[in-house]
A and B are shown apart, each in its own frame.
Chain A
């Protein structure tokens, strides 16, 4: 069953997707945003200080402003997850997780990157029960407790530093022989008396019956277990593009391949922001890419009207 027919469906509600929707709706395209949240990764930022026009603004507020602007321009929003895409004549059919289908003439993929999971036993079962992916959201709930941060890059060090001000003790579990990232952060974390650095340690399992009780790791061929109340996973982000891979060309990092105008290999499908292979993952860049994708989608629809297919239906 197809519920509705759109000129454009934007998959994702971060800066790329919301800007695309603003541009498309202002060109009078019937536009729908399908997203699992509002603001995407931007919405997790406490403070954004490099978005032009704002000295400082927090992520959720900027996200809400972009959404309000898109809706004012005429775009609609549905909170949901897209799990499949298929070509149907000159259109596309998007499959949603709740079973609904949407038909649209064009699609902009702008669903960003997803936090990488550890993929160890116990992680899924204890997610939200001690396993956390957002230190600034859940950190304050661990006042006086013992936590472990898994990861060795900037985001892991940021999390460790932030948590050390709240909790009793932070283990920083790093797979590599040393920390990688900004020197300032490395120095601060290394000197922090509450942070115990554990190098060349690979997480094997998270244990606990109803909540996290301990973490099992392997270091130099030895299996060890530490008692912790929380596990903060900070091992970067991945492109969750499995559901588009049959249709769209991907890079080695599984990001969607686009040309300079945000076109994918399939005419009518565009991509913008972090999910595409652009090098810089920044709010202002994603917003710009979203605008480009929307203008290109508009151009594509205009062309279609002039020649061959009848877009009036």
Chain B
């Protein structure tokens, strides 16, 4: 399962993380997010042994501070962070292959 982020732990888990992190910004009302979710969890499972990679998700409904900070206006939104900085920005459902490629590119 992907790491559950919230307004409180986001900075610690993502911004201070030395490595590559993928964050899926989602909400329960969003139908495409429901299709993205299982792909993110699969990815988390496959990459769970890599200490330099983090796969996480943030519920924008419950965590408005962070969704405002990152100006989330369309979901699912996926962002890749490297050493705490956004290096990739995606909107709309993404396949596992595409996400893996983009993560690997940052390693």
Contacts and interface: CB of A to CB of B under 8 A. Distances in A.
Contact of B96 (A60, A64, A79, A98): A79
- Of A46, A58, A137, A140, the most chain B CB neighbours within 10 A belong to A137
B75 interface: yes
Interface residues of B, number: 25
B50 to A, nearest CB: 22
A129 B74 contact: yes
Given A128-B91, A141-B67, A37 B74 contact: no
A141 B31 contact: no
Contacts of A45: 31
Contacts, number: 74
Given A80-B95, A127-B91, A137 B32 contact: yes
- Of A36, A37, A58, the most chain B CB neighbours within 10 A belong to A37
A136 interface: yes
Nearest to A128: B91
Interface string A1-24: 000000000000000000000000
B1 interface: no
A311 B29 CA distance: 47
A141 B73 contact: yes
A135 to B, nearest CB: 11
A240 interface: no
Interface residues of A, number: 32
B29 A137 contact: yes
Interface string A246-288: 0000000000000000000000000000000000000000000
Contacts of A85: none
A230 interface: yes
Interface of B: 27, 29-35, 38, 60-61, 67, 71-75, 77, 91-93, 95-98
Given A46-B31, A129-B73, A137-B75, 11 more contacts: A37-B35, A38-B35, A59-B31, A60-B32, A79-B97, A80-B97, A127-B74, A128-B73, A132-B73, A137-B31, A230-B73
